[in-house]
Amino acid sequence: MPPKPRKTATPGRLIGYARVSTEEQGTDPQLDELRAAGCNSILEEHASGADRERPVLARLLRDIRPGETLVVVRLDRLARSVSHLLAVIEQLEMLGAHFRSLRDPIDTTTPQGMFSLQVLGAVAQLERALIAERTKAGLRAARKRGRVGGNPGLRARDPDAIRKVCSSRDKGPSRRRAGGTGHVAADRAADAPRPALGRRRARPESGAGGPLDR
């Protein structure tokens, strides 16, 4: 009696994300590659890579389902920095979704793709350490020369300076709330501190990383 064929899990749908920085640029080349890769649906966005307020990406990350895969043509179409990329991928993994970049060796459904992701995390961690060391060296050199960092008005207890700082802090949360819940959720995911990658669901630290796109 011949053995019964093993059942394989049906892969989830592929969701493409195409982004250009200005209205004058077109997404057609990205759309062609994403369709050729088998994307069932494609979302388009016109926004700078450095812009945190990307409503289409925020909605995609909010609505994606377990088993589905977010696909981009290149990494710089999705993230503004390595740390932002790692934060988005971690958010997808927490939802049971995956990520793939067509022109880069990143595919979180494969061991090779996860290895590449861990290398990116190690690079980001090294960069954070180098930045911290340069910052400490600069502060030490400034202190030797009698210069002290910070706001001079605050150090002098100037009422006007204190009022300006308090006013700026009060306006920050209201601006985020005005952007919508999807934006706030994406911002919180990008801002949350994360340990170094070492496991499938390890949470990389955000707040640093070189720019992927302008």
| Cβ contact 128:205 at 8 Å | yes
Burial label for 184, CB within 10 Å (0-12, 13-18, 19+), is middle
Please tell me which residue in 21, 48, 101, 174 is annotated as part of the active site.
21
Active site residue 116: no
d(CA 136, CA 154): 22
In angstroms, what CA-CA distances link 39 with 30, 148, 201?
Answer: 11, 55, 25
189 phi/psi in degrees, rounded to 5:
-65, -35
Q: What pairs with residue 45 in β-bridges?
A: 19
d(CA 118, CA 192): 18
The closest alpha carbon to 41, from 76, 65, 71, 74, belongs to 71
Active site residues: 21
